Amino acid sequence: MALAAPGRREQNKLEKRGRIIAAARALFTHKGFDATTSQEIADAAGVAGGTIFTYARTKEDLLILVFHDEMMEVVERGFVAARGSAGLLDQVIAFFETMVVYHVRDVPLARVLMRQLGYVGSEEQLTLVQELMTRVLGRLAQLVEAAKGQGEVDAASPLLPSARSLFAIYYYHLGALLNGYLDRSQFDRNLRTDLGVLLRGLG
Amino acid sequence: MALAAPGRREQNKLEKRGRIIAAARALFTHKGFDATTSQEIADAAGVAGGTIFTYARTKEDLLILVFHDEMMEVVERGFVAARGSAGLLDQVIAFFETMVVYHVRDVPLARVLMRQLGYVGSEEQLTLVQELMTRVLGRLAQLVEAAKGQGEVDAASPLLPSARSLFAIYYYHLGALLNGYLDRSQFDRNLRTDLGVLLRGLG
DNA sequence: TAAAAAATATGACTGCGCTCATATTTGGGG
DNA sequence: CCCCAAATATGAGCGCAGTCATATTTTTTA
């Protein structure tokens, strides 16, 4: 029994961590971020109030923990969707479309999430956010590279800057959508227009 | 004396509002946003604690109030600076440079400000932020239009989408700079590169 | 296996932003 | 000039996120 020694503590920690994140996910989704108290999360996870904050420094950290994995998956789904389209513009739009569909399922929560992505408040957050950004830009760069192979994009166009610019434009419009400046159809149109402006610079 | 009747109350309100905003500006700058309590602002403005919240719904609203005017001026200064350069790329960079210089004077505060620009929490904020965005995009559009006149930009390029895309790219990099992902020289290089990518699509 | 050490959990407590019932000030009508 | 209604100011009080000294559990040492 002593063999499991170096695992017992870690095991408990991991399991507890899982319960806390699951509880937070359920409550954030059901009641909203602001309306959920850290005490409620603690109760739902079966731990004391203060324990929450040994697993996440702040409530926002918890939000990032909750959604990091989901977002990584969404990006992968978006990449698959992109490969199902023809032409870089439509591919990129399919990619972003997947992410938008995910975000509009819960706009208030997506807003809080987006705010936090732009205001990293701890080392843990930094790691998770950077991982996510690297993945997104990497996938976009792959799409641009493939388009180069098709002769659709100038071979001289730098990959990472192109990916960054694509993302920057998407991100700007996503903010406008989530903040209610744009409705969905305006968003789609503006995004296509602006990405088109950029692509003519890549071709 | 009764002639000033419709002005007395408004006068007092305006003056008090001015004191509150000035106190908030001083404290935010000197102590930082989080470290400044609403009570301190109230004390410095010579009003009771609760009075603050009849002039601004939240502490964040106060921040927007404080910096709205300054930012509007910075944009104008940026526009003037832009006109002093030749070529759209250098003009746009001069424009953004002015804004960056302003933001890096107080990075922590700029971070909070930027967070709030992307997460509008009240009608008052909405008005001020939209006013600012309209001004920025308007000025950028003017630069693009002038470049069209010089034959530097394709006459078919839509003005507003071009301005939006320029801003989107700037905004993305500004976030990276303020969050410490980039140092200043990396920022300058990346911004120039990415704006260059976009411009080749406009020309 | 006993005792010391290290890691983790606990919940009473603190300080904050913000609210709200009450008090005060202001402007107009008689 | 006085009274009344509306606007504004007040500060005690509330609920919350996050802290910290203490208690509990796990691992290591002997």
Measured to protein CB atoms, the chain C nucleotides within 7 Å are: 7-13, 15-21, 26-28
Q: Is A201 on the interface with B (CB under 8 A)?
A: yes
DSSP states of B166-198: HHHHHHHHHHHHHTTSS-HHHHHHHHHHHHHHH
Tell me the nearest-neighbour CA distance from A142 into chain B, angstroms: 17
Q: In the numeric block, which tokens belong to residue A153?
A: 């994009």
Sign of CA dihedral A45, A50, A56, A62: positive
Q: How far is CA B90 from CA A175, A178, B45, B83, B94, in A?
A: 27, 32, 43, 10, 6
Measured to protein CB atoms, the chain D nucleotides within 7 Å are: 7-13, 15-21, 26-28
Sign of CA dihedral A120, A124, A126, A131: negative
Tell me which residues of chain B, numbers 110 to 149, contact chain A at a CB-CB cutoff of 8 Å: 111-112, 114-115, 118-120, 130
pLDDT digits (tens, 9 = 90+) for B146-167: 999 999 999 989 999 999 999 9
**Candidate from A162, A172, A193 with C-beta closest to B171:** A172
Q: Is B165 on the interface with A (CB under 8 A)?
A: yes
3-class DSSP assignment, residue A124: helix
Between chain A and chain B, the number of residue pairs with CB atoms below 8 A apart is: 92
pLDDT digits (tens, 9 = 90+) for A40-83: 999 999 999 999 999 999 999 999 999 998 999 999 999 999 99
Q: How far is CA A122 from CA A55, A60, A119, A129, B46, in A?
A: 13, 10, 9, 11, 36
Distance B57 CA to C20 C1' (A): 14
B80 Cβ contact partners less than 8 Å away, ≥ 6 residues apart: none
Q: Are residues A162 and B197, on separate chains, in Cβ contact within 8 Å?
A: yes
Q: Please give the DSSP secondary-structure letter assigned to residue A51.
A: G
pLDDT digits (tens, 9 = 90+) for B35-86: 999 999 999 999 999 999 999 999 999 999 999 989 999 999 999 999 999 9
**Rounded average pLDDT per 10-residue block, chain A, 203 residues:** 50 90 97 98 98 97 94 98 96 98 97 93 91 97 95 92 97 97 97 95 58
Q: In the numeric block, which tokens belong to residue B75?
A: 């944009």
State the Cα–Cα distance between residues B24 and B32, nearest whole angstrom.
10
Domains of chain B are: 7-55 (1.10.10.60), 58-202 (1.10.357.10)
Distance A11 CA to D29 C1' (A): 23
For residue A63, give the H/E element and its range: helix A59-83
Q: Which of A96, A138, A103, A97 is nearest to A117 (CA)?
A: A103
Amino acid, res. A114: M
Where do we find the tokens 């069209």? Answer: B148
Q: Are A106 and A120 contacting, i.e. CB atoms less than 8 angstroms apart?
A: no
Tell me the nearest-neighbour CA distance from B195 into chain A, angstroms: 8
State the Cα–Cα distance between residues B30 and B14, nearest whole angstrom.
24
State the Cα–Cα distance between residues B75 and B65, nearest whole angstrom.
16
Distance A179 CA to C15 C1' (A): 32
Q: Is A192 on the interface with B (CB under 8 A)?
A: no
State the Cα–Cα distance between residues B68 and B94, nearest whole angstrom.
21
